[in-house]
Amino acid sequence: MNTVKKVYGYLTRLKDNKIQVLVFQHPNLEAGMQIPKGTVETGEEIDFAIIREMQEETGLQKFKVEKLIAEYFWKNDDGVIHNRFFYRINVTEALDEWKYQPTGGGEESGLTFRYFWISSPHEAELVRGHGDYLDYIFQ
């Protein structure tokens, strides 16, 4: 089975003693609200890919990967099988909101995402699959 490995980050922070999760709005509103994610490069270790992808996608540098929350296989709408890895990541320094152009290239080249924090799993409707573990994060 030919699969594509994908890493997803629930970037979290504490603000006013409440956990918050970083989400972003894609400039194409049909693409929906998402959590940072990316593709693992051929031969790349998963532990390195999650760090690289979070830096490339958000511009953040000061964070700590806490733990793997889940790993599973997902059949994408185009029929490709994704091996998905969801991580919890603690952010130590970040603005409340910012815009950023991802640096990883590919389909996101030239796009600007708007990043902000949510404080509950019901505060934003994320695209299919991205919010699956929000209840775990906010418990």
Dump pLDDT digits (tens) for 100-122: 999 988 888 889 999 999 999 99
Dump pLDDT digits (tens) for 9-42: 999 999 999 999 999 998 887 888 999 999 999 9
Task: Count CB atoms within 10 A of the CB of residue 13.
Answer: 18
The CATH class given to the 3-138 domain equals alpha beta
Cα–Cα dist 131/89, whole Å: 15
Q: Tell me which DSSP letter residue 81 carries.
A: E
Cβ-based burial of 115 (10 A; exposed 0-12, middle 13-18, buried ≥19): buried
Residue 89 backbone zone (phi > 0: left; psi -120 to 50: alpha; other: beta): beta
Q: How do the domains of the chain map onto residue ranges?
A: 3-138
Dump pLDDT digits (tens) for 57-105: 999 999 999 999 999 999 988 899 999 999 999 999 999 999 999 998 8
